Amino acid sequence: MIELHILRRALSALVAFLLGAVGLLLAVEAGNRLGGRDQPAVVDYPPVLDDLSDRPWSDDAVRWSAVLAVLLGLLLLYAAVRRATQPLMMQSNGDVRCEIPRNEVERLLSLAAERVSGVRSSRVKVGRNTAKVTATTRAREPGDLPRDVQSACQERLDALMLEQPLKTKVRIEAGRR
């Protein structure tokens, strides 16, 4: 399956090209009329209009054109409504900038949290400004575990050198033995 961002870009380019071509055609024809010429400059419209007005709605070419227009419209609507892929976060180190996907930041923070002694598993959700870390432990009393997880995640975030710093919120869930 084609990735959605490639489909959106292709459809956007197609629509932009078609709108640009129609706009250019209209500008040339308007300039031609303003220049005092009565004959069309690019397309001879009367024969085209006569041919289109003579075609009944039941004609196969008309039906297929309508079906194609509806399918293209539905495809454009789907591409516009479909949830976008997760945005990238920017890393910078002096003159060097690179992008890192949010799900990769989530994975790295989850690994950092799971390296803390006493953490069995973790889940991370990165928002615009906050990384929410949920760590699961077998201990009934977590003690300093939230602080240790917070510290480990903050060290990992500092090492990533993100342009927009993230705050970490840590929640500890006591698991069953």
- Per-residue pLDDT tens over the stretch 89-115: 677 777 777 888 888 899 999 999 999
For the packed helices 102-114 and 145-160, what is the interaxial angle rounded to 10 degrees? 140
Q: How confident is the model at residue 72 (pLDDT cuts 50, 70, 90)?
A: confident
The mean per-residue pLDDT over the stretch 3-32 comes to: 84
Q: Mean pLDDT across the chain, nearest whole number? A: 84
> Does the structure show a pLDDT above 80 at 57?
yes
Which pLDDT does position 125 carry in this prediction? 93
Rounded to whole angstroms, the Cα distance separating 111 from 107 reads 6
Q: Which domains does the chain have, with CATH numbers?
A: 4-81 (no CATH), 88-174 (3.30.70.1350)
The mean per-residue pLDDT over the stretch 120-134 comes to: 91
Please answer whether residues 136 and 101 qualify as being in contact, where contact means their C-beta atoms are separated by less than 8 angstroms. Answer: no
DSSP at 128: S
DSSP at 37: -
- Whole-model pTM: value is 0.52
The mean per-residue pLDDT over the stretch 12-20 comes to: 88
> Does the structure show a pLDDT above 90 at 68?
yes
Rounded to whole angstroms, the Cα distance separating 70 from 129 reads 41
pLDDT digits (tens, 9 = 90+) for 152-166: 999 999 888 888 888
Q: How confident is the model at residue 86 (pLDDT cuts 50, 70, 90)?
A: low
Which pLDDT does position 78 carry in this prediction? 81
Please answer whether residues 76 and 149 qualify as being in contact, where contact means their C-beta atoms are separated by less than 8 angstroms. Answer: no
> Does the structure show a pLDDT above 70 at 129?
yes
- Phi and psi at 114, nearest 5°, equal -75, -15
Which pLDDT does position 162 carry in this prediction? 84
The mean per-residue pLDDT over the stretch 30-46 comes to: 84
